[in-house]
Chain A
Amino acid sequence: MNIYSLITAFYYVIVLYFAVMLFWQLITQKQLSMQIAIAIALIPFILRLLYIK
């Protein structure tokens, strides 16, 4: 493991944190329009976590 692997690991922890927070907002937000916006914002985080893009 080198410094770049550590940075990448830390990055994925940050991505996971934001994904969980966004998901929490998604299921507690009462406005439908906000839920749609949050779901769209959540997609890049899910793709990153799944190592797709």
Chain B
Amino acid sequence: MERQTVLRGILVLLLVVAVATPAALAFIRQRQPDLILKGPGVTRVGKLSEYFDGIKGTANDPDYYLFEGPEKGGTMIVWGGTHPVEPAGYLAPILMIENMKVTRGRLFLIPQINISSFGNTKIGIGDVDSFTIPTPFGSRKFRFGGRGTNPIDQWPDPDVYTNPITGQSLAGDESRNFNRVHPGHPRGYLTERLSYALMQMIRNEKADVTIDLHEAPPDRPLVNAFAVHERAVDLASLAILNLEAQGIKVRLEMSPKFLRGLSHREVGDHTQAMAILMEAFSPYHGPLRGRADEAHLLTAKDSFLVLASKMGRTSVKVPPEGVPIDVRVARHVTSIVEVANALTELTPERGIKIEGAPPYEGMVKNGIGAYLKQPPVGNQRN
């Protein structure tokens, strides 16, 4: 081995490493947690692994925020971030964590349930990796992740994924899709173990209601809709009536009995809770869309979607002025509050009273940034 050849080889490697370093740093930066500021109503913050230690110490052990009122009542568990490509799904619980309190019953909020999936973006799509919400004090930045658990945390994907409980078979990468692996398995893939931990939480806390927050592109039928398990129909219907009275239109969709692995089916079938999945509008992750940049994500102004809508190719009308993130988040926040109100109305002894959640009109008019808290100096993620 010639010394000159060795030195030249190492030098070449160092040069190539230097070129690759910015990309490596970007990958590492994507795993930095988002800043979520604990509001005055939060009683306790914990880890989901308290309910199943099979996820303890892994990349998929998300935080939960408990709100417990002084008056006894029911229990509701709400999670966002099943799909981190659907930002209204996790911004809604974050806004609630930073603002609201519960005066009756208990509310568990898990804003970023598939936390591993925030550490990567969809491969080969060119999505943004984060977005910024303007606020009165400047701005707050949040990650925009992928649709499934980060492959660095769960590998390899099988050729075909068969849900171990339901037996339903799907494409292999769906083994990392948190809304296809329910009700989970204690010795399964990391995503299945995460689902199992959530099911254990729902059972152990004797949850009356669960809500899974999403966004859906307008070419799919489930937009501005609740997908509900059959045991949750009365509850969801009453909440929808109350939302309609406020001018917020929501469609009720029954959870199909043979579409398995989704939260609205499996939570309802495998636990005592009434399961609801909520979908707001998404401009971003469907096949029809314009340039996928940050402005597009936040405003949903998209001439392609408007044209598709005029041609009758979308399930909801897409307005030229877009569907801002403020409206999408406002729908989710208000819907959660109305489900709690409906639970109180239907079963007064198991009621939940939420106070101080940002009002719908306020979020739409002033923007959701008006309700995000200012981080302490030196604690801003930018």
Contact = CB atoms under 8 A, between A and B. Distances in A.
Contact of B24 (A2, A7, A47): A47
A2 B189 CA distance: 9
A16 interface: no
B10, B13, B155, B189: most-surrounded residue (chain A CB, <10 A): B13
B156 A28 contact: no
Interface string A4-34: 1001100100000000000100111110100
Contacts of A4: 154-155, 189-190
A26 B1 CA distance: 11
A2 B27 CA distance: 27
Contacts of A35: 8-9, 12
A29 B9 CA distance: 8
A36 B9 CA distance: 8
Contacts of A30: 2, 5
A43 B187 contact: no
Nearest to A48: B152
Q: Is the interface of B mostly helix, strand, loop or mixed?
A: helix
Interface string B1-36: 110011011101101110010011001100000000
Contacts of B12: 26, 32, 35-36, 39
A32 B13 CA distance: 11
A43 B17 contact: yes
A38 to B, nearest CB: 8
Contacts of B13: 23, 26, 39, 42
B1, B10, B20, B28: most-surrounded residue (chain A CB, <10 A): B20
B8 A11 contact: no
A27 B6 CA distance: 4
Contact of B152 (A7, A26, A36, A53): A53
A52 B187 contact: no
A26 B9 contact: yes
A47 B27 CA distance: 10
A52 B27 contact: yes
Given A4-B154, A4-B189, A52-B28, A27 B17 contact: no
12 contacts: A8-B155, A26-B12, A27-B1, A27-B9, A27-B10, A30-B2, A36-B12, A39-B12, A42-B13, A46-B17, A50-B24, A52-B24
Interface of B: 1-2, 5-6, 8-10, 12-13, 15-17, 20, 23-24, 27-28, 152, 154-156, 187, 189-190
Interface of A: 2, 4, 7-8, 11, 23, 26-30, 32, 35-36, 38-40, 42-43, 46-47, 50-53
